[in-house]
Amino acid sequence: MRRLLFSLLLLLAASGAAADDMVGRYAATGVTPLGAGYTGEVQIEQVGSLHIVLWKLEGSAAYKGIGIRRGDKLGVGYGAADTDFGIAVYKVNGGTLEGVWAGSTDLKSELGKETLEGSPKLTGTYKITLGQNRDGLTNYTGTIEIKRNGNAFLFYWPTKTPSLGVGVLVDDMLVVAYSSNPAKLPGVVGYKVSGAGAMDGIWAALDLHKSNSGGISVAPPQKAGSETLKRQP
């Protein structure tokens, strides 16, 4: 955990990016979707257009995350240290979702862009009307399937190498963490500033269910967890 944080801090210094007011060390208290409480520490740093988020929870493993800030909100995807994943943050305007995205293996490139068009109910098939890769030059098209359960979501990209994602909704920000590796799916957190040095968040993760025949089924999370961050000196 310390080695990873040190490496990320070196990258931050090399990038020359100015830290914003979300950067810092926080005490975390949360409740899992099953109702169990937990505590821990969270470190937030800035690298270019992204935020790096590191969790060390009491009695649990460390997690790494990458986040994209939108105003007073921060959308974060997270996983174990060896997990590769992507993060997308959309602004919801009826049935139009205007978003930006990034991947955990490339922290320096510009953000990709993606606009989805579909039902204002945030469920069903959505067409990618704008898909721009992080090189800013090449584009892509396709569709995305979204299944909703309250403020938690399941995303499915039916591409040549399919991807699964989990999302949460915070006001008009829909944040999604995704991966093409079903064995190491990431989780997602959506934070919102709730006061000086404090943020409230909701989070969710997908569970894979194996049938007796060996098949795998995935459903939207039944319930989201919650997490509150308070800045430490």
213 band by pLDDT with thresholds 50, 70 and 90: low
Give residue 122's region: left, alpha or beta (phi > 0; psi -120 to 50): left
Report d(CA 134, CA 142) in Å as an integer.
17
Report d(CA 166, CA 88) in Å as an integer.
10
pLDDT, tens only, 35-75: 999 999 999 999 999 999 999 999 887 899 999 999 999 99
- Whole domain around residue 90: which residue ranges? 2-231
Q: How many domains does the chain have?
A: 1
Q: Which phi and psi (to 5°) does residue 2 adopt?
A: -65, -40
pTM comes to 0.88
The predicted structure's pLDDT at residue 15? 43
Measuring CA to CA, which residue among 133, 74, 80, 140 is closest to residue 109? 133
